[in-house]
Structure 1
Amino acid sequence: MNDDVLAPTPEGRIHTEVQGPVLLIAIDRAAKRNGFTPAMLQALAEAYTRLDDDPALRVGVLHAQGDHFTAGLDLPSFAPLMQRGQRAIAEGLVDPLNLGRPGLRRRTKPMVVAVKGITYTLGIELMLAADMVVAADDCRFSQLEVQRGIMATGGATLRMAERAGLGNAMLHLLTADVFDSAEALRLHFVQRVVPAGSEFDEALRIAQAIAQQAPLAVVATRLNALKAVEEGPMAAADEFETTQQRLACSDDAREGVLSFQARRAARFTGR
């Protein structure tokens, strides 16, 4: 079901499509290599918020129209906001960069990203903010803010070092070089590299596999792993008993036992 069939605009757009419990989120400004305008970033936040707020949706897939994922920010349109220290996203929405900044929500449900072609600056930060990334083997990555006289503020300075180590992060953050999918895989920036043209199908396959699992358990597992990375293993371990007790009392946990006993596929409801 395509939810928002709209004519292309110079500002670009984000459109969504629901496939069962999966929300497909497409970046659509192919004529400009999917360069992001403020309106597009606001629309992306609205799509992420829809994913989190709709109980029928269990996982998102972020992808792009055209030959490229995104060339990053459309700097002329963002420069005035940067100079004023303003955000492009309205308060109360889910932050696609998942940084936990005041006024913006953090995503709870899983997000899989399919990247291809040019994946620069914001594109890298969006994929590092997601949970899993499938990259086409034709990807070109670059975190080139220093080449434009600005700093990466969408999470690259945080997550590149966490994934790849400080030296590897500095190599790419400070040289603004272009690197390929093999290097992104080596640095743990992406989880799979597939032939160009198959990245969306693989990302959707992963999302559908996640959607078959118990939704409450998926969210709890994701948040606990994220807490371990951000706050340390013991902070995550401190939640084990209370989280497991809550999950064990759910309808889905009961269904998990019944389906195991009956040797059938589970029918989870998210309750």
Structure 2
Amino acid sequence: MMTEPLILREDRAGWTILTLNRPDKLNALTVPLFRELRAHVVALASDDAIGCVVLRGAGKCFSAGHDLGDIASGEDVPSRGWHSETLRMMERLRKPVIAAVHGHCYTGALEVALACDFIIAADSARFGDTHAKWALTPIWGMSQRLPRRVGTATAKRLMFTADMIDAAEAVRIGLAEYMVPAAELDAEIERIAARIVANSAFSHAANKRLLEATDGGALDAGLQWEVMENEGVGPDMRDRIAAFTGKRG
């Protein structure tokens, strides 16, 4: 009997959906699930047919977070920083990666979502960092990515209180980019992925590199980096301009 994959990949027209697939466990995150996620990330890194990745959860939610049972019993982790390394690999894909969140997105799950380029929230989404509730400390990136997304004071508030916030509050503080009705999440994923892959994959990769290299640095240094280290024009630049001017002419 074949075991159901813990991560499902569904390729669309130039983009793909990766789905966390433990719906009976609220997509709680385990080492085997991360192994499959890592394998998909490695495959996507060299797949030029895919220009955008959407990460979401099956069933009732995105993910309730790190599987507490696994934590309590001890995990067979390849190395101390292996989970964090896996998320960094996903974050550094040379193509946009979007988290589409509905329902629960707590602690480890929030760390996964934060490693995506941005978050779209269904109005059913709930976010929180509960490390302090369980006497845990982050090791998958919360202390680094959350303050970069929402600011240090707001990150401290969320981390110290372990409060849950709804989708509207997530948008207000900049954690999520925008909110859509849960019933429209699938359609919104289709719309935004189509708009992204219609644009230049060369530009997406170059822009991610520029943004990453200068994040948090001094403005003048960043401006100099943009001038000196930008990757110029893409191989499809002339074709894109010709197609546009041809339509106008």
Same-fold status (TM-score > 0.5): yes
State whether residues 91 and 116 of structure 2, in contact with CA within 8 Å, keep that contact through their aligned partners in structure 1.
no
Deviation at 1:251, TM superposition (A): 2.3
Deviation at 1:152, TM superposition (A): 1.8
Identity %: 26
- Shift, 1:121, TM fit: 0.9
Q: Deviations over 1:46-93 (max 9, x none)?
A: 21222221011111011111011101111332452489963555xxxx
1:254 aligns to what? 238
Q: 1:231 to 1:172 in 2, by over 3 A?
A: same
Give the Å deviation of 1:209. 0.6
1:79-228 to structure 2, matched below 5 A, reads 79=72, 80-81=74-75, 86-88=80-82, 95-98=85-88, 106-228=92-214
1:238, distance to aligned residue in structure 2 (A): 2.8
User: How far, CA to CA, are the matches of 2:77 and 2:120 in structure 1?
Assistant: 34
Q: What TM-score, normalized to structure 2?
A: 0.88
Matching residue within 12, 32, 36 for 1:43 = 36
Alignment check: 8 A CA contact 1:63 1:200 kept: no
Q: Which residue of 2 aligns with 1:268?
A: none
**Runs of 5+ in structure 1 lacking a partner?**
1-5, 265-271
Partners in 2 of 1:105 and 1:180 — Cα distance?
24
CA separation in 2, counterparts of 1:36 and 1:213?
33
The match for 1:21 among 14, 20, 23 is: 14
Change in 2 beyond 3 A, CA 1:85/1:176: farther
Q: Residue 48 of structure 1 contacts residue 95 of structure 1 at CA under 8 Å; is this kept in 2?
A: no
Q: Judging changes above 3 Å, is the alpha-carbon distance between structure 1 residues 153 and 211 closer, same or farther for their aligned structure 2 residues?
A: same
Task: Say whether the 8 Å CA contact 2:101–2:119 is kept in structure 1.
Answer: yes
Q: 1:260 to 1:241 in 2, by over 3 A?
A: farther
Paired with 1:165 and 1:230, the residues of 2 have a C-alpha distance of 12
CA contact (8 A) 1:142 1:172 kept: yes
SS of the residue corresponding to residue 86 of structure 1 reads coil
Structure 1 letter corresponding to 2:38: A
* Match runs of 1:64-83 below 5 Å: 64-79=57-72, 80-81=74-75
CA–CA distance in structure 2, aligned partners of residues 263 and 40 of structure 1: 47
Tell me the CA shift for residue 243 of structure 1: 5.1
Aligned residues of 2:99 and 2:120 also touching (Cα < 8 A)? yes
Asked if the contact 1:34/1:72 (under 8 Å) is kept, the reply is yes
Shift of 1:228: 2.7
CA contact (8 A) 1:95 1:107 kept: no
| CA distance in structure 2 between the partners assigned to 1:134 and 1:254 by the alignment | 33
Deviation at 1:17, TM superposition (A): 1.0
Q: Which residue of 2 aligns with 1:269?
A: none
User: Could you list the runs of 5+ residues in structure 2 that have no partner in the other structure?
Assistant: none
The residue that corresponds to 1:62 in the other structure is 55
| 1:16-50 alpha-carbon deviations (Å, 9 max, x no partner) | 01112101100010001110110101111221222
TM-score of the superposed pair, with normalisation by structure 1: 0.81
Greater relative CO, 1 or 2 (CA 8 Å, sep 6+)? 2
**Structure 1: how far apart are the matches of 2:167 and 2:217?**
30
CA offsets 1:98-123 (integer angstroms, 9 cap, x no match): 2x7xxx98322111111011111122
Contact 1:121 1:145 in 2 (8 A): yes
- Distance in 1 (CA, whole Å) between partners of 2:12 and 2:59 is 21
Give yes or no for contact 2:81–2:139 (8 Å, CA) kept in 1. no
Greater helix share, structure number: 2
- 1:84 & 1:229 partners in 2: Cα distance? 30
Change in Cα spacing, 1:237 to 1:18, as seen in structure 2 (3 Å) is same
